[in-house]
Structure 1
């Protein structure tokens, strides 16, 4: 196992970042998927929810094919826990979160704070915070708010940014990172 450097990424993960970012002619999203290649053509996601007490640790993609049953499990896990509404989560978002997790070289599952949000939940959160977008990608199943106990917000943010595959927001005060499959952009402090 490689030793982790001061920003929480292993030497192997950093070399992977440099190799993957050398491919600049490919479409943006392929960069995130590129971080997931080379591991036996298998993609896995591991998360838990402090809100529901549920956890998920599943292989959702094998040798070029998404696994329908695993995606259904992910959709249920990422549901709006306040309303119990389920939406199909955009696989690009799942891939981005998995790619960032791979770069962090951590066996710890993410804590999912927010995946899909129903319009009712989003409106309620907007009434409580200026940081909630009216047309949030959470409403489309295209975003996730995540944290890891073993990594800082800054480390998770850097790993997600290295994927160059969507929006990445750093919420240091609230101790989470937002990842989505929208246009490539960054924000936060």
Structure 2
């Protein structure tokens, strides 16, 4: 049996006609529109909540990989998240942390928009504070407050795909942070605030 975690489900709107028994003309029109919205099946939010989300990842420098469903029937799949946590672990310390599943949502959305079936190659996922500090000392491009330490970020590429095009597309989607490391050929994606560099 697959165990699942409760995902972020969209708030179901309260039907406005139940809120107040005395409705004026404007309230009545608003109530009618609200009632229509409450009863229309298959809205975009409902499809996202009930949809199936997949991700394919392969860890650079190891043979670790995951390809499959990590979100189904409005919930994150626990076993899939555990496997993804392992793939995204801090390799230098062999340290695993729970990754923020919203990162996989960002990756899923980017892959869908790119029409990419290939696996993301993960260069860096979770970084322990010690690993991040050591990396920051070696490179001025690494933040000392990196979202990698919170399990909210990954540096990745899709082999055979243009990293610049991927970064541009991800940035226009506004789902989180996007950084292009053109010289190294990878893109930083995170599920924090929308920003780019």
Give the gaps of 5 or more residues in structure 1: 1-33
Q: Which has the higher contact order (CA 8 A, sep 6+)?
A: 1
Contact 1:97 1:160 in 2 (8 A): no
Question: Is 1:170 paired with 2:187?
Answer: no
In 2, the alpha carbon distance for the partners of 1:139 and 1:65 equals 25
Question: Is 1:77 paired with 2:87?
Answer: yes
Among 128, 144, 156, the residue aligned to 1:118: 128
What residue is the counterpart of 1:137 in the other structure? 147
Contact 1:42 1:59 in 2 (8 A): yes
Give the gaps of 5 or more residues in structure 2: 1-43
- 4+ residue segments displaced more than 4 Å: none
How far is the alpha carbon of 1:174 from its aligned partner?
A: 0.9
Q: TM-score, normalised by structure 2?
A: 0.73
In 1, the alpha carbon distance for the partners of 2:58 and 2:81 equals 16
What residue is the counterpart of 2:99 in the other structure? 89
In 1, the alpha carbon distance for the partners of 2:159 and 2:89 equals 22
What residue is the counterpart of 2:195 in the other structure? 185
Q: How does 1:49-60 map to 2 (within 5 A)?
A: 49-60=59-70
For the pair shown, the structure with the greater C-alpha radius of gyration is 2
How far is the alpha carbon of 1:88 from its aligned partner?
A: 0.8
Question: Is 1:66 paired with 2:66?
Answer: no
In 2, the alpha carbon distance for the partners of 1:78 and 1:50 equals 10
Cα deviation code 1:77-122 (max 9, x no counterpart): 1110111111111111110011111111111101000110011111
Aligned residues: 152
What residue is the counterpart of 1:107 in the other structure? 117
In 2, the alpha carbon distance for the partners of 1:162 and 1:150 equals 21
How far is the alpha carbon of 1:150 from its aligned partner?
A: 1.9
Contact 2:59 2:65 in 1 (8 A): yes
What residue is the counterpart of 2:30 in the other structure? none
What residue is the counterpart of 1:16 in the other structure? none
Does the residue aligned with 1:173 lie in a helix, a strand or coil? coil
Contact 1:48 1:55 in 2 (8 A): yes
Contact 2:59 2:88 in 1 (8 A): no
In 1, the alpha carbon distance for the partners of 2:187 and 2:51 equals 27
